[in-house]
Structures are given as structure tokens and as C-alpha cells.
Amino acid sequence: MFVQGLKCLFCETVYPVRVGYTCPRCGIVGILDVQYDYARIGRILTRRRLAARSDQSHWRYRELLPIGSNAALPALSVGGTPLTSTPALARHVGLAKLFLKDDGRNATGSLKDRASSVGVVKAREKRRPIIACASTGNAASSCAGMAASMGLKSVIFVPERAPEPKVTQLLIFGATVLRVRGSYEDAFQLCQRSCGKWGWYNRNSGINPYLVEGKKTAGLEIGEQLAWEPTDWVAVSVGDGCTVAGVWKGFRELKALGLIPRTPRILGVQAEGAAPVTAAFLSGEPMRPIEPATLADSIAVGVPRNWKRAVLAVRESGGAMINVSDGEILEAMRYTGRLSGIFAEPAAATAVAGLQRAVAEGCVGRRASAVALITGNGLKDVQSARAAAGQPYDIAPDGAALEEILRERKLIE
Ligand SMILES: *Cc1c(COP(=O)(O)O)cnc(C)c1O
């Protein structure tokens, strides 16, 4: 392992890896960041060595992950998701070049698999047979799926409003599913207490320092897939803030290792009704909790734990934060599907909607290139998708109205 220690993002104390989940001095706000020996890693992870590796999963960057070289890994495949050039979508949002990184193609359908896969490896390493998580959906289904793949048991706390498809995934993966009558925050607090009481491994990205390490592999992959020439911008939707901070850490590491000449700017995008991180970014003040109101359930976080990590990341990248409305999110789901063939869940389409707005407001230039990170698959929340997609034409079996419809759709003259 190349891990040197864990550094508190608040008081900046560096601890040995044996410390608990958060900073012993700062408590739950003392989020810890994993520190590596980049000089040693740089001698191993060269462009040529990486090109010669046949493993396409995110474990190809194992030197940059907090896992032992002989650690048992889940059998499910994580990472290595496609980066697709989407010229028609680029024209629509007003950019010179746009790529979608489709992380809906991970084992359980979201980017969270990158984090959960590291979580279950750590749980096994610490000999904990049960892993627990509180989540609005994707972290939960991903945690349950990875636990099943690894032979661990999972206990999952979800808020009342978690979408049915995600809850169904949990049940299929054999998790003990506790639907908490309350908000995500209520579910989070109950999970925290339960982990403390029964000694379960805690997969909450708000406090577990290792999960962001898994998420950063999305940034590492984007760098490598673009032949080490990153786009000008990378757009990432923000709920808790762990994902955007992880993606940025990936790029910062690629730069530190001399693998890329420059880093992209990060565009962090929140939903208007759940935007405490954008508010903190713009004001420079500490984050103020809010009552979230957005249909993008995966980013409906009122008390983001990683807000500071997110704000520092976007700022360090020279990037920006922007908010979009639920209307813009639904619209982005529709035009992204129509113009690229990629089906994004609301929180994922948020990144595309953010780029469109950033271009319209002049924050991102029209000659710029960008990647939008598609963090979750659209089938994860069919109800929202149907609100975006509209209705099919109901026709009689004799096809009476068929020609009229085809003419209306301009499919025939
Ligand atoms: C979790 C999630 C996000 C946001 O990640 P945070 O770490 O909470 O900021 C965005 N989109 C999808 C689909 C997610 O599941």
C-alpha cells in the first residue's frame, strides 16, 4: 500500500491510518483525506505501464487506492465505463466538443459502485461481516450489490422517498432494508447510531474517508481515455459533495504524477431546490443546512457532509458552481437521450443541464470542450423519466391513425 496517512480537512492534522472514520479532534465535521506517497507511485504508474495493463476495471489504478496488493476484490466489474463523443448534444448545449462518461454502466447502474467496491474491500480487511449505509438510493443499491458479490451482509437505511426501482434493487441483493419515515438526514443519523452500537462497517461517504478514493477513479479514467489531454471542463452534479471532490482528486493526482500537462476546470452543478454547496461556494461562508426540494433524488441532500471538500475542489480547479431548475433537469434528460442514446437519471442529467446553463450565461466559453459525468442510469427512476419522456401513441390494431402520426412526426411525407 502507498497510503501515508489520513489528513483532516479542517485542522490539517495528519493521522496514521488506524484512526477512526473522522478526525478525533474535530469530530464529525473533521472529514479525513487519504494521503499517498506520490513519488513512489510515480515510478510505477507511467503512461506506458498503464497502457500495458489489461485490467479495464478501476482496479487498474490500484496503487492510487487505499487497498492492499493482496486484498480480496468483489467479483462484480466496476469502472472502465465508456467515454462517448456526442457532437449533436454538443451543438445543442452550445459547446465545441462534448463527451459523456456513462457511469450508469457500472455493475449496479451508478457511479457509487466505484466507492462501494472500495468500501466492501475495507470491510473485509477490517473483518466486519456486516456493512451499513444510509442513502437516497444509489449508494444503497451499490453497497448491497457489492456486499452480495463479496459475501457480506448489508443493512440499508433509506428515506421514505427513495424511488421504487432503487429499493427493489436492494431487496433483490438481499439487503436488510429499513425505510425510515423521514428525510435522508434522519436515515443518516439512525445509521450512524446503529453502526456505533453494533460495530458494522460504515459505508457513508459523509464520514468514511475511503469512498472518495473509489470515486476519484472516474477522473483517472477520463484522463486516460482522453489520451492524457483533458477537456477544458468536467461537469459533475453535486449532492453530498463527495463525487465532485473525488473526480477532482483524480485529476490532481494525474497532474502530480506527470501524466497530464494541465487539469480541467470543474463545473459543480446542484439542483436549485437543494443547493447549499453552491451557496457556500459563492458566499465563502460555512454551509448552511436546507430542506431539500428537487425531483433529482440522488442529489436531494440538505446537510451535505463533504461540502468543504467539494468547495475546495471546485475552487482549486479554477472552476465554478451553478444551479439548475427541475424543469431544466427533465429537459436535459429528454434531449440527452434523444441526441446521444444515453439514458441518464435526473441527478445525472443535472450535469448536462448545468453545462447548458453555464454556456448560456457565458461562464463556459462556446469554444470549450467538456465532459459531463453521467452518474446514474435512467432506469433507476422511471417515474421521473416518464415525466420527462411524455406518452406513447395508443393506436388500434388496424393501424387506422398510423399515417397521420407518422406525418406529424415527419417520418413520411
Ligand atoms: C450520489 C450521486 C450524485 C452526487 O454525488 P455526491 O457525492 O452526493 O455529491 C450524483 N448523481 C448520482 C446519480 C448519484 O447517485
Tens of pLDDT, residue by residue over 55-84, are 999 999 999 999 998 999 999 989 999 999
Which residues lie below 8 Å from residue 195, measured CB to CB, with a gap of 6+? Answer: 132, 201, 202
Q: Please work out whether the CB of residue 238 comes within 6 Å of at least one atom of ligand 1.
A: yes
Torsion of CA 332, 305, 115, 221, to 10 degrees: 60
Q: Please work out whether the CB of residue 136 comes within 6 Å of at least one atom of ligand 1.
A: no
Which residues lie below 8 Å from residue 392, measured CB to CB, with a gap of 6+? Answer: none
Q: Please work out whether the CB of residue 271 comes within 6 Å of at least one atom of ligand 1.
A: no
Minimal-distance CA residue to ligand 1 atom 14: 298
Asked if residue 64 is part of any domain, the answer here is no
Asked if residue 221 is part of any domain, the answer here is yes
- Say if CB 109 and CB 141 are below 8 A apart: yes
Q: Please work out whether the CB of residue 243 comes within 6 Å of at least one atom of ligand 1.
A: yes
pLDDT above 80: residue 136: no
SS3 call for 60: helix
pLDDT interval class at 28 (50, 70, 90): confident
pLDDT interval class at 17 (50, 70, 90): confident
**CA-based nearest residue to 248, from 321, 154, 175:** 321
Asked if residue 266 is part of any domain, the answer here is yes
* CA 119 from centre of chain: 15
Q: Please work out whether the CB of residue 57 comes within 6 Å of at least one atom of ligand 1.
A: no
Which residues lie below 8 Å from residue 410, measured CB to CB, with a gap of 6+? Answer: none
pLDDT value of position 165: 85
User: What is the value of pTM for the model shown?
Assistant: 0.95
pLDDT above 80: residue 236: yes
* CA 116 from centre of chain: 11
Which residues lie below 8 Å from residue 155, measured CB to CB, with a gap of 6+? Answer: 130, 131, 132, 133, 175, 176, 178, 194, 200
Q: Please work out whether the CB of residue 298 comes within 6 Å of at least one atom of ligand 1.
A: yes
**CA-based nearest residue to 235, from 199, 281, 207, 269:** 269
Average pLDDT over residues 388-399: 87
- Please report, for the chain, how many H helices and E strands are present, in that order: 16, 13
Of 52-66, 136-150, 157-171, minimum mean pLDDT range: 157-171
Q: What is the pLDDT of residues 186-205, one digit of tens each?
A: 888 999 999 999 999 999 87
pLDDT above 90: residue 391: no
What is the total count of domains within the chain?
Answer: 1
Asked if residue 150 is part of any domain, the answer here is no
pLDDT, mean over the chain: 94
Asked if residue 223 is part of any domain, the answer here is yes
- Say if CB 224 and CB 61 are below 8 A apart: no
pLDDT value of position 262: 97
Asked if residue 32 is part of any domain, the answer here is no
Q: What is the pLDDT of residues 71-126, one digit of tens each?
A: 999 999 899 999 999 999 999 999 999 999 999 999 999 999 999 999 999 999 99
CA of 298 to the centre of ligand 1 (A): 5
Asked if residue 325 is part of any domain, the answer here is yes
Q: Which domain holds residue 283?
A: 83-109+212-389
SS3 call for 301: coil
CATH (domain of 88): 3.40.50.1100
Closest-lying ligand 1 atom to the alpha carbon of residue 240: 8
Asked if residue 299 is part of any domain, the answer here is yes
